[in-house]
């Protein structure tokens, strides 16, 4: 059982962090980032070619974290691999010691730096969760020549995660899909960034009303200032930084930006702590803030 699974099963309010692999092969920054936050979080997500910008992969960096004694959450997007490669990478992950996987649709290639690439999406995130569940049962998605399910030589076992966007303007459709993810095998959920505790409460009430019982970890993207908040409001679907918070950020002196980021993140987590089972902190490179946020939110 992964530490993440154990922590959530034990009912501890659980923190996860996140690192983004570099564009290139210099692991220095990403390993340093993981080292900075590892004692404050239970596991660290490794993003998978995030925003469709070509870079070092999630699998390799997740394996490097395992080597370094840090528990990774291996993020997998559906954009870049067909079902053969996705299933194979799940097996690869298992033999490399990776136990937490997170199924994500993935931003479209037009959002990234290889806009002329062919997007794959052979499976969607629900089907990817199902694929992982099938692998755990000792089979795969294929059939042998007699039409029977293939048998695996040794089956993996994962702690399978999914994502949801609580502040989406189509939140009802998001919750319907979350139900399907759970039915397909999702055991935990990390959300898209949330900055509005009231909206999150409404979302969580609806989730529990639907009897969705998996642990939900609220997502917090560390706000690196007013510019970033504005950018998220304008460009990131399903992320809303409310007006009072915008005002607060606008009144923050430049040299206090990082301090404010920690304060805001910790305050939000404290507000939402009674509603959910953990927090997933996405520092976007401000790796040193993660520990400070965890400490402040736990105080």
Partner 1 sequence: MIIQKQKAFEDILKSLEGEQKVFLAGCADCAAACKTGGEEELVEMKARLEAAGKSITGTAVFDTACQLGAVRQKAREYEQAIKEADSILVMACGTGAQTIGETLEKKAHIGVDSLFVGQVNRLGKYTERCSTCGQCVLEAFEGICPVTRCAKGLLNGPCGGSKGGKCEIDPEKDCGWVLIYKKMEALGKLDKMRAYQPAKDQGSRHTPRQFTWPKKTPEGIKK
123 contributes a contact to partner 1 by CB under 8 A: yes
Q: Within 10 A of 282 (CB to CB), how many other CB atoms are there? A: 23
Rounded (to 5) percent helix, strand, coil in the chain:
45, 15, 35
Residues near partner 1 (CB under 8 A), total = 37
The single residue among 30, 56, 61, 78 that binds partner 1, judged by CB under 8 A, is 78
In whole angstroms, the minimum distance from the beta carbon of 48 to partner 1 comes to: 14
Smallest gap from residue 73 Cβ to partner 1 (A): 17
Cβ closer to partner 1: 218 or 266? 218
* 121 is an interface residue for partner 1 by CB under 8 A: yes
Binding part of the chain for partner 1, among 16-24, 180-188, 273-281, 284-292 by CB under 8 A, reads 180-188
Binding residue for partner 1, selected from 17, 21, 215, 238, defined by CB under 8 A: 238
Q: Which of 163, 232, 276, 290 binds partner 1 (CB under 8 A)?
A: 163
Residue 120: exposed, middle, or buried by beta-carbon count in 10 A (0-12, 13-18, 19+)? middle
Choice between 122 and 206, CB closer to partner 1? 122
Interacting positions 251-270 with partner 1 (CB under 8 A): none
User: Interface with partner 1 includes 142 (CB under 8 A)?
Assistant: no
- By CB under 8 A, tell whether 174 contacts partner 1: yes
> Which one of 105, 139, 257, 271 is in contact with partner 1 (CB under 8 A)?
105
Q: Which of 32, 113, 169, 251 binds partner 1 (CB under 8 A)?
A: 169
In the bound complex, what is the minimum distance in angstroms from residue 25's beta carbon to partner 1? 29
* Nearest Cα residue to 279 out of 92, 62, 12: 12
Three-class SS of 81-100: CCHHHHHHHHHHHHHCCCCE
Q: How far apart are CA 111 and CA 116, in angstroms?
A: 11
Nearer to partner 1, 142 or 274 (CB): 142
Query: How many CA within 13 A on the CB side of residue 236?
Result: 17
Give the tokens for residue 70: 């840090």
Q: Read off the tokens for 95.
A: 């033999």
Select the residue interacting with partner 1 from 38, 177, 224, 260 (CB under 8 A): 177
The residue from 64, 99, 130, 280 that contacts partner 1 (CB under 8 A) is 130
Interaction of residue 125 with partner 1, rule CB under 8 A:
yes
Q: What is the DSSP string of 263-288?
A: HHHHHHHHHHGGGSSEEEEE-TT-TH
What H or E segment, with its residue span, contains residue 140? Answer: strand 139-143
Which of 298, 273, 297, 135 has the alpha carbon at shortest distance from 215?
273
Longest dimension (CA), the chain: 69
Which residues contact partner 1 (rule: CB under 8 A)?
78-79, 83, 105, 107-108, 110-111, 119, 121-127, 130-131, 141, 163-165, 168-170, 172-174, 176-177, 179-180, 183-184, 192, 237-238
């Amino acid at each position: 059982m992964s530490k993440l699974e154990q922590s959530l099963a034990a009912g501890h309010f659980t923190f996860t962090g996140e690192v983004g692999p570099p564009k290139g092969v210099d692991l220095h920054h990403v390993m340093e980032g993981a080292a900075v936050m590892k004692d404050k979080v239970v596991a660290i997500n490794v993003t998978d070619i995030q925003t469709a910008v070509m870079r070092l992969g999630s699998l390799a960096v997740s394996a490097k974290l395992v080597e370094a004694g840090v528990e990774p959450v291996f993020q997998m997007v559906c954009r870049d691999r067909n079902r053969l490669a996705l299933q194979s990478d799940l097996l690869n992950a298992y033999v490399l010691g990776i136990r937490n996987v997170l199924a994500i649709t993935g931003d479209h290639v037009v959002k990234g730096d290889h806009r002329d690439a062919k997007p794959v999406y052979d499976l969607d995130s629900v089907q990817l969760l199902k694929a992982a569940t099938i692998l755990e049962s000792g089979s795969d998605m294929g059939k042998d020549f007699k039409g029977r399910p293939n048998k695996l030589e040794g089956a993996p076992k994962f702690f399978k995660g999914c994502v949801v966007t609580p502040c989406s303007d189509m939140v009802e459709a998001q919750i319907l899909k979350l139900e399907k993810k759970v039915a397909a095998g999702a055991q935990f959920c990390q959300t898209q960034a949330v900055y509005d505790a009231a909206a999150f409460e409404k979302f969580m009430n609806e989730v529990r009303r639907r009897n969705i019982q998996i642990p939900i970890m609220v997502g917090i993207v560390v706000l690196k200032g007013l510019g970033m908040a504005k950018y998220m409001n304008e460009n990131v679907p399903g992320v809303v930084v409310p007006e009072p918070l915008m005002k607060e950020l606008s009144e923050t002196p430049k040299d206090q930006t990082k301090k404010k980021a920690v304060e805001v993140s910790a305050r939000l987590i404290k507000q939402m702590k009674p509603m959910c089972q953990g927090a997933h902190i996405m520092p976007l490179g401000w790796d040193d803030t993660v520990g400070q946020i965890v400490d402040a939110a736990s105080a």
